[in-house]
Amino acid sequence: MDADRWLTDTRTSYDTVAVSYADQMRGALTGAPYLRAALALFADLVHAAGDGPVVDVGCGPGHVTAHLRDLGVDAFGIDLSSAMVDVARREQPRLRFEVGSMTDLELADASVVGLLAFWSLIHVPDEAVPTVFGHFRRVLRPGGPLLLGFHVGDESRLKTQGYGGHPMNVHVHRRRPDQVAARLNDAGFSVEAHLLIDPDEGVPGAVLFARCVP
């Protein structure tokens, strides 16, 4: 898949749905106790690592970034969609949000103590995952925690509509935790735990904890 094409399609799609997406995600963590528990554990790992800046990659409207900040984490967000970043800045004016791509993170080496990518890898094709994980490892401090959330499965599908019925043109990739773990190991991470969420649903979710190997 052409890199410029899928990035452009993802950016345009989320520019289109930014406001509707934010409306749907507002308060989403309230009814997600296992996700809140995962975020609380991630915050504890950040504190144990000595605190410092934490980046939420693919932050969307910033609701997870704000939740981490409420847990005492110095979190900031990066998203591919400028419209989504505009929404995040309006809704969370005290927090820092920037436009950027996980395929080319404009962050200094070892500049963050923790990194979160919550359901933002789902549009990244397989061939781009090593590049993304390479950037994650580069910007994380040695020993820093990584938390990923993603859809579980074995297929990819084209999403042409969503979040209020707006048009979209993005592929949604589902992956198995062991596949993601193997990719992380190849990139220089040590995988510590994963949790399968809603395993009886049509599309389960997973959260995976890893650490940047010194």
pLDDT tens digits, 37-65 = 999 999 999 999 999 999 999 999 999 99
The pLDDT tens digits for 127-137 are 999 999 999 99
pLDDT value at 141 more than 80: yes
The pLDDT tens digits for 54-110 are 999 999 999 999 999 999 999 999 999 999 999 999 999 999 999 999 999 999 999
Which stretches does DSSP call E strand in the chain?
53-57, 74-79, 97-99, 114-118, 145-151, 156-162, 166-173, 189-197, 205-212
The pLDDT tens digits for 157-212 are 999 988 878 888 999 999 999 999 999 999 999 999 999 999 888 889 999 999 99
What is the three-state SS of 105-130? CCCCCCCECEEEEECCCCCCCHHHHH
Average pLDDT taken over every residue of the chain: 94
Task: Tell me the β-bridge partners of 118.
Answer: 149
Please give the helix or strand (H or E) that residue 32 lies within, else none.
Answer: none
Place of tokens 């920037």: 98
Report pLDDT for 102. 96
Provide, rounded to the nearest whole percent, the portion of the chain with pLDDT above 70.
99
Angle at 199 between CA 193 and CA 202, to 5 degrees: 135
Task: Collect all residues with Cβ–Cβ distance below 8 Å to 4 and sequence separation of at least 6.
Answer: none
* pLDDT confidence bin for 2, thresholds 50/70/90: low
Q: Under DSSP, is residue 160 helix (H, G, I), strand (E, B) or coil?
A: strand
Report pLDDT for 56. 98
Report pLDDT for 199. 87
The pLDDT tens digits for 15-31 are 999 999 999 888 889 99
Domains and CATH numbers, the chain: 3-212 (3.40.50.150)
- Rounded Cα distance between 16 and 213, Å, is 38
Rg (CA), the chain: 16
pLDDT value at 3 more than 80: no
Q: What is the pTM of this model?
A: 0.95
Q: Tokens for 67?
A: 């939740």
Report pLDDT for 29. 94
